[in-house]
Chain A
Amino acid sequence: MIVDLINPDVVDLSRFQFALTALYHFMFVPLTLGLTFMLAAMETVYVVTGRQIYKDMAQFWGKLFGINFAIGVATGITMEFEFGTNWSMYSRFFGDMFGTPLAIEGLMAFFMESTFVGLMFFGWDRLSKQGHLAITYLVALGSNLSALWILVANASMNMPEGGHFDPDTMRMQFDSVVKVIFNPDAQAKFVHTSVAGYVSAAMFVMGISAFYILRGKHKAFAARSFRMAALFGIISTVAVITLGDVLGRLDYEHQPTKIAAIEGLWHTSKPPFEPWLAFALPDDAKQENHFEIGVPFVLTPLVSHSFETPITGMIELEEQAGPHIVSGIQAVSALHQYGRTHDAVDLERFRAHEADMGFGFLAMRHAPNQDVTNIPDDQLNTIVQQTKPDILPNVFVTFWAFRIMVFLSLWFFAVFALSAYVSLKNELEKNRLLLKLCMWSIPLPILATEFGWITAEAGRQPWTVFNRLPTFLSASSHGVGYMIFSLAGFALLYSIFIAAELFLMFKYARLGPDHDSHATHDGHLSVIADRKDAFSAASSLSS
């Protein structure tokens, strides 16, 4: 046996734990990304116009931000640990390329955000107006830069660029930091994700403001917050959809299996008629869809931005993988040999098949004793046939996660557009149904970002590093008991966290902004017509 493969249950439990902790972390992060920016915008208006109400807005929404921020930080620590505790092989294999953006994130972004967030809360009376505003911007910049570096790291898993595998150290090493940073996947994903955060924050502020307007409380405060959020929201939603399209195009070029799964495309498309499936029930086992409902002519231009380029289907992709798996088995055998001999002949043999190494690792799961270095000739074909279907992600999950995200984003577009229109006409109080819809939509952007994450990460399977390192090989060699212990702990702690968070959020949202400081403002409603302020704040987002 050349390698003791880790228990498949441990791999599954590790994946489950990572998904749980990542999705949980991702409930709080988007809100942080967007709220910091909105706080900065509100405070900017305060500093420019000197109106107290905008300071109250920054302080009140800042309090809710703080409740959210704490859990975001706490659950972020978990993520950083888990690569080492649960994905040891991955961390060793890819640490050179993945650890660097992560460490830069700490040095450049997280330190700044965390140091200044203290001053943001505690420094109101100790800093000048401009000084405090600068701090708020630094926190916003820090949280957004943080997202940038995390997504740079993530992009190098989805689209490994700027690195190579070194047979002497048995890992990926990077040779161009520029290529890692300017990975197109990273850039597109950064904007897509952070702007999705702005959508979450906008819906959050708009929904709670709608609640106040419905109750007839804090009217001036709520009307201003509502309008600012609606404008933020509409700009952000447009950006999110545009960048989503860019991402889809990148996946089409670099991760054909992901895009085929997203579209539920089993057989290579026949442009230009190929419909875009709005509804289907993909059956992973039978490799076909049930109950397809599609929009004809849409798929090809949507994905390939042309009318004639076909999109490769999953069954064809599987067929194409065959030769790569055979070659990959050669690569892994040569690598194993080279590790013992350090012989130039073995190295040369490895180099000839190097590009397919990942497929050789993928075949390990089906090889006798999980050893691909000594496969008898008569078994090779069977193993290749068994490995082929492994290259596809779970189609049902990827297909539906993507669709829920897309349908939700269309819903946000409608809600924000309508809200902005009604708010600018000063007719909010008449449209109680819209206000209720805004309120009930608060959790939806968070749900949409979660499904976006699932689309990206479930669609990347079976790889942790796309086409290089399979997921089942990446986990640490733990026993099942360890995994149950940690999972139980996380489930318990995270349940306590979410209960406490929701309790406090509801409590402080119900309490509303400090009442005494608003008594004067609530008296006259003419301030609602103050459109310029909200616009100037919204424009700072689009710039």
Chain B
Amino acid sequence: MDTYAILKLVWAGILGVLFIGLGVMVGMDMGVGTLLRFVGRNDGERRTALNIIGPHWDGNQVWFILGGGAIFAAFPTLYATSFSVFYVVMILLLFSMILRPVAFEYRSKVDCKRWRASWDGVFLISGALPMFIYGAAFGNVLEGVGYHFGWTGQYYQDESFFSYLINPFAVLCGLMSVALSVYQGGVMLMLRSEEPIHGRARRYAMRGGVVAAALFLIGGVFIRRLNGFHLNDANPGMPANPVQGQHVTVSVGGWLDNFQLHPILWLLPLLGVFCMLFGTAMVKADRPVVAWWTGVGSWIGTIGTVGVAMFPFLMPSSTAPDQSLTIWNSTASAYGLTCMLVVASIFVPLILCYTSWCYYVMRGKVRTADIIHDSHSY
């Protein structure tokens, strides 16, 4: 295999890590946003919940920005096509995402019940909706997306957005993503809060874990009846142009082919289910630290499962299967991938270091009594 093909593979791996990072970090904050109105019964409690993630949400949100940026840089064709094909959905995601920073900064700056209640509503929407869309997008991609390319590389959409927004499998994936984020958010609240928030967060985290596991298993049954795509004459070193150079066949249950070929891959879905269930047990046993890390395991299991099932596809086309986007045909140039790899290998470890340090500095329980008198808090 030539260097270019290896670079493409490495970047597919990095993309996976970014998706997992996004799920864990952004999902955690979104979960807290979703739960805000339920774990906090009065303003003081809600502010406590907000301030638990207060120092970190902005940094975590960068996982989301970086996810977009990395797809743009490393998989420009995927970025251009997926963001456009899912236009309405993406714009909805965007609307809810941009409401969040404003909600954090503005909610507690005015001492008025209606003002704060309105922003609390914003937290619910901007917490649950993006996670729903995040999951639903994975579902849509697994089902295949209707698009084709013209000779200049312009894409053309062949299906309306309704089919992407409202179809059973996508809804299932979306709900699972919300459940996992509620789990992770609940665990984070447990880590840094006292009663009564702690106890309420624990109940929601348990529900999140169980629901996620159930939906993941149902999804597994579903996928056997879905169309799977298979790349015939794969040429990993091909020029990154989706217009030609591939032959793709479609078959029911085809997404399970990779698992049949390499049974060891079954470890990934197993890891997912195990982490969700074991994590729920840990929440019940009031061991939030372990539960937080099993949450990470759940995301690795789910995203990893989708990744290996689809490999090497990134976004198959249901109407022009030969033009499906794969790892081989939608990457940046070898030079671009190399540059990005150098930059990423310097900065990603650095980011992990200072992010952990920030959590370390802000460690400890957040108390409602302290929040009310602290002018720096949200």
A residues near B (Cβ < 8 Å) are: 2-4, 6, 59, 66-67, 69-71, 73-78, 80-81, 83-86, 88-93, 95-100, 102-108, 110-112, 114-119, 121-124, 126-127, 166, 168-171, 173-175, 177, 336, 339, 473, 476-478, 482, 485-486, 489, 493, 497, 500, 504, 507-508, 514
Contact = CB atoms under 8 A, between A and B. Distances in A.
Nearest to B53: A118
B72 A107 contact: no
For the residues of B in contact with A, the DSSP-based class is helix
Nearest to B70: A103
Interface stretch (B30-38, B79-87, B132-140, B164-172): B79-87
27 contacts: A2-B150, A4-B156, A67-B106, A70-B105, A74-B101, A77-B97, A81-B90, A84-B80, A85-B94, A91-B72, A92-B77, A93-B153, A96-B332, A106-B66, A115-B62, A115-B355, A117-B58, A118-B54, A118-B362, A121-B54, A169-B240, A174-B335, A473-B154, A476-B87, A477-B157, A478-B157, A482-B87
Given A88-B154, A88-B155, A99 B72 contact: yes
Contact of A70 (B51, B102, B110): B102
Contact of A489 (B82, B95, B336): B95
A473 B150 CA distance: 12
For the residues of A in contact with B, the DSSP-based class is helix
Interface stretch (B174-182, B307-315, B344-352): B344-352
Contact of A177 (B58, B87, B153, B339): B339
Interface in B326-378: 332-333, 335-336, 339-340, 343-344, 347-348, 351, 354-355, 358, 361-362, 375-377
B253 interface: no
Contacts of A489: 91, 95
B55 interface: yes
Contact of B80 (A74, A95, A106): A95
A11 to B, nearest CB: 12
Contact of B79 (A74, A84, A115): A84
A111 B353 CA distance: 12
Contacts of B98: 74-75, 77-78, 493
A12 B144 CA distance: 31
B276 to A, nearest CB: 29
A86 B91 CA distance: 10
B358 A119 contact: yes
Contacts of B375: 514
B229 interface: no
Nearest to A100: B73
A99 B64 CA distance: 15
A85 B150 contact: no
Interface-central residue, A77, A103, A123, by most chain B CB under 10 Å: A103
Given A81-B83, A84-B79, A486-B91, 4 more contacts: A71-B102, A91-B79, A95-B73, A118-B55
Contacts, number: 263
A108 B73 contact: no
A84 B62 contact: no
Nearest to B86: A85
Given A126-B361, A336-B151, A96 B102 contact: no
Given A84-B82, A127-B361, A69 B105 contact: yes
Contact of A103 (B59, B66, B157, B335): B66
A115 B102 contact: no
Contact of A477 (B57, B154, B344): B154
Nearest to A87: B80
A108 B239 contact: no
B170 to A, nearest CB: 19
Contact of B361 (A93, A107, A123): A123
B151 A92 contact: no
A126 B91 contact: no
A123 B102 contact: no
A108 B347 contact: yes
A174 B84 contact: no
Contacts of A508: 109
Contacts of A100: 73, 332, 336, 339-340
A122 B105 contact: no
B153 A171 contact: yes
B241 interface: yes
A536 B112 CA distance: 42
B268 interface: no
B299 interface: no
Contacts of B123: none
A482 B362 CA distance: 43
B206 interface: no
Interface-central residue, A67, A86, A95, A166, by most chain B CB under 10 Å: A95
Nearest to A172: B333
Contacts of A504: 106, 109-110
Contact of A107 (B151, B156, B157, B343): B343
Contacts of A514: 375
A270 B93 CA distance: 55
Nearest to A69: B105
Nearest to A121: B376
Nearest to B343: A104
B101 A73 contact: yes
Contacts of B344: 107
A127 B105 CA distance: 22
Please name the 7 residue pairs, one residue from A and one from B, whose CB atoms are nearest each other, closest first: A95-B76, A84-B83, A115-B59, A70-B105, A99-B72, A118-B55, A99-B73
A6 B150 CA distance: 12
Contacts of A477: 84, 154-157
Nearest to B51: A122
B100 interface: yes
Contacts of B76: 91-92, 95-96, 99, 171
A500 B90 CA distance: 25
B84 A96 contact: no
A118 to B, nearest CB: 4
Nearest to A86: B84
B99 interface: yes
A121 B55 CA distance: 8
B90 A103 contact: no
Interface-central residue, A75, A80, A126, by most chain B CB under 10 Å: A80
A180 to B, nearest CB: 9
Contacts of B91: 85, 485-486, 489
Given A103-B74, A119-B361, A482-B88, A80 B65 contact: yes
B207 interface: no
B190 to A, nearest CB: 20
Contacts of B105: 66-67, 69-70
A110 B59 CA distance: 8
Contacts of B58: 73, 114-115, 117-118
B46 to A, nearest CB: 17
Given A91-B80, A115-B62, A500-B106, A170 B241 contact: yes
Interface string B237-268: 00111011000000000000000000000000
B184 interface: no
B19 interface: no
Given A77-B97, A170-B153, A95 B81 contact: no
